[in-house]
């Protein structure tokens, strides 16, 4: 098993759309890809029922924050993470709104050697433009900005934010961007809310290596969307400057999406050379 003493680490983000349903997919994929930290979203299981044993048996550390049937995030890591926290509240204790947002399990963070803080997110979908869930999403993203700003004031300041953002930041991230202004996940308000977070000093790892359109990470289950590549790129890795400069590759692995009963998302992998961090 590859250890973190090696120079390049591989961090993957994957919305698995139920870890218990996709457990074999995840285990087989981890074996093939040799991932150092796997960041999962939409695990859809309470902490006590998370299937830890198969990962522990393979030598992984497991950190979870889940709820029944909805949401949920987790780390599957080759080595122990430090300062693992879940939700906004531990860092933003003076903000009275954090407990309301933390009822949904959407955020987990931890530090991996040699001093990289990973923030794993499942951003709310928003349902329909101007709906209560849409307003909730914008408020959640505003709180995320405050949270990230606080994180960046701490040590270490190398920050990798990944997850299912439920936002296509650019038109080239959508198979058909016409009328995108009225479509949840691509409205100007959502894009600006995410840009407000990125303006703190974060860059898109995938676009460092691939500027082409039609590169997607999510395809609707309906209308043969995957087979026709009618997708969206809504799963991202965002990096602070030193990590961005040290990133050697960022790829979307569509192979798991071809499996029987797949998640509707594909995993996204970033590889970072830690030698000069």
DSSP string, 43-78: --S-GGGS--HHHHHTT-EEEEE--SSS--EEEEES
pLDDT of residue 113: 86
Percent of the residues in the chain that have a pLDDT greater than 90, as a whole number: 94
* Unique residue bearing structure tokens 């407000």: 196
Residue 39: both structure tokens together: 């960041």
Mean pLDDT for 227-239 is 98
Structural domain count of the chain? 1
Give phi and psi for 158, each to the nearest 5: -75, 115
- pLDDT of res. 98: 95
Task: Answer whether residue 226 is part of any domain.
Answer: yes
User: Is the pLDDT confidence value at 92 over 70?
Assistant: yes
Residue 2, in any domain of the structure:
no
What Å distances lie between residue 88 and 130, 156, 197, CA to CA? 24, 18, 15
Its pTM stands at: 0.96
**95 in any annotated domain:** yes
Say which CATH number the domain at 210 has.
Answer: 3.60.10.10
Among 37-46, 93-102, 118-127, 164-173, the range scoring the smallest mean pLDDT is 93-102
Which is it for the CA torsion 94, 96, 101, 105, positive or negative? positive
> Could you tell me the pLDDT band of residue 13, with boundaries at 50, 70 and 90?
very high
Mean pLDDT across the stretch 206-216? Answer: 96
Segment 44-72 mean pLDDT: 98
Looking at residue 3, what is its pLDDT?
45
Residue 123 domain boundaries:
8-273
């Amino acid at each position: 098993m590859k250890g973190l003493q090696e120079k390049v680490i591989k961090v993957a983000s994957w919305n698995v759309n139920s870890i218990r349903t996709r457990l074999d997919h995840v285990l087989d994929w981890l074996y093939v890809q040799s991932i150092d930290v796997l960041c999962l979203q939409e695990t859809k299981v309470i902490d006590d029922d998370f299937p830890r044993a198969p990962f522990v048996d393979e030598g992984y550390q497991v950190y979870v924050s889940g709820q029944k049937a909805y949401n949920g995030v987790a780390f599957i890591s080759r080595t122990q993470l430090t300062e693992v926290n879940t939700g906004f509240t531990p860092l933003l204790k003076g903000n009275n709104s954090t407990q309301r947002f933390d009822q949904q399990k959407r955020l987990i963070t931890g530090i991996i050697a040699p001093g990289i803080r990973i923030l794993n997110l499942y951003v709310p979908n928003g349902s329909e433009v101007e709906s209560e869930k849409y307003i909730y999403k914008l408020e959640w993203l505003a709180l995320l900005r405050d949270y990230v700003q606080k994180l960046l004031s701490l040590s270490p300041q190398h920050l990798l934010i990944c997850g299912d953002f439920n936002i296509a930041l650019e038109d080239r991230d959508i198979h058909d961007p016409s009328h995108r202004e009225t479509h949840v996940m691509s409205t100007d308000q959502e894009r600006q809310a995410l840009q407000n977070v990125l303006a703190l000093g974060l860059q898109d790892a995938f676009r460092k290596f691939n500027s082409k359109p039609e590169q997607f990470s999510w395809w609707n289950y309906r209308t043969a969307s995957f087979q026709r590549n009618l997708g969206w790129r809504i799963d991202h890795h965002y990096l602070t400057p030193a990590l961005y400069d040290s990133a050697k590759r960022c790829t979307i692995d569509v192979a798991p999406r071809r499996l029987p009963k797949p998640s509707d998302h594909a995993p996204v992998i970033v590889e970072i050379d830690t030698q000069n961090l």
